[in-house]
A and B are shown apart, each in its own frame.
Chain A
């Protein structure tokens, strides 16, 4: 089954404790992206990757890191999480970049930073 998977689905952590949220897709998609979703703000793009070893900042990259060493994986790293990073995070992938490409979303990761 074609899908985007994220792990963990739920995470509660404390300020400053490094964490990684994994994202994997099995559709051989070139483009992958991370979003955070907050009430009243909709979906905001954090980082995106147009191919292996090619990453760039989205709208709200501060406090996040990403890497793209393999085509199928695009982990999101929070080196020193803070409470304002409490949010619902979505990973997405598509065959190529651009607004014309259909985005396939993962199920989401709900992160709470205390």
Chain B
């Protein structure tokens, strides 16, 4: 069974860059790595996705090393509104059909003024 590992919590201050790393040692060759953001009392929502190297969108960047056994979500210049739980997601390597999805435990990011 694939497993992902993330830090449970992180603290930051407004304006700083935050990097959250997820470990996914058993990632399958055809798997993508996706990150989600969740605010209290809401469902998770998609932030960014990548397969290898670096991906950037208007919200974040995602860095994936060549061996793809980990990934790092980078949030530039965080604000108070970035306080949320962040999850990484990969597929289950043992599931050839792609139905099983594995979320990490989530990283609770707290941004302080």
A interface residues, Cβ below 8 angstroms from B: 4, 31, 33, 35, 40-45, 48, 50, 56, 58-59, 90, 92, 97-100, 102-103, 105-108
Contact in complex: B87, A105 (CB < 8 Å): no
The 11 sampled A-B contact pairs (Cβ below 8 Å) are A43-B106, A50-B97, A56-B100, A90-B43, A97-B98, A98-B98, A99-B90, A103-B89, A105-B45, A107-B41, A107-B43
Contacts of B97 in A (CB 8 A): 50, 97
Contacts A40-B8, A100-B49 known; 6 new A-B pairs at CB < 8 A? A50-B97, A98-B30, A99-B34, A99-B89, A105-B44, A107-B42
Interface centre among B8, B41, B46, B103 (most CB of A within 10 A): B103
Residue in B closest to A40 when the chains form the complex, CB atoms: B105
Given the known inter-chain contacts A35-B103, A40-B105, A45-B101, please indicate yes or no for A103 contacting B33, CB distance below 8 A: no
Contact count band on B: 20 to 34
Given contacts A42-B87, A43-B87, contact A99 B43 (CB under 8 A): no
Tell me, in angstroms, the Cα distance from A102 to B103 when the chains sit together: 13
Distance in Å from the Cβ of A44 to the closest Cβ of chain B?
A: 7
Output the least CB separation between B108 and chain A (Å): 10
CB distance A43 to B99 under 8 Å? no
Complex Cα spacing A98 to B45, Å = 16
| A103 to B42 Cα, complex, angstroms | 14
Q: List residues of chain A with CB within 8 A of the CB of B49.
A: 100, 102
- Interface flags, B36-68, vs A, CB<8A=1, else 0: 100001111110010000000000000000000
Smallest CB gap from A6: residue in B: B43
**Taking the nearest CB of chain B, how far is it from the CB of A103, in angstroms?**
7
Contact of B42 with A33 in the complex, beta carbons under 8 Å: no
In contact, B31 and A42 (Cβ under 8 angstroms) = no
State in angstroms the CA–CA spacing of A103 and B36 once bound together: 9
User: How far, in Å, is A30 (CB) from chain B's closest CB?
Assistant: 11
Q: Which chain A residue has the least Cβ–Cβ distance from B101? A: A45
Contacts of B104 in A (CB 8 A): 42
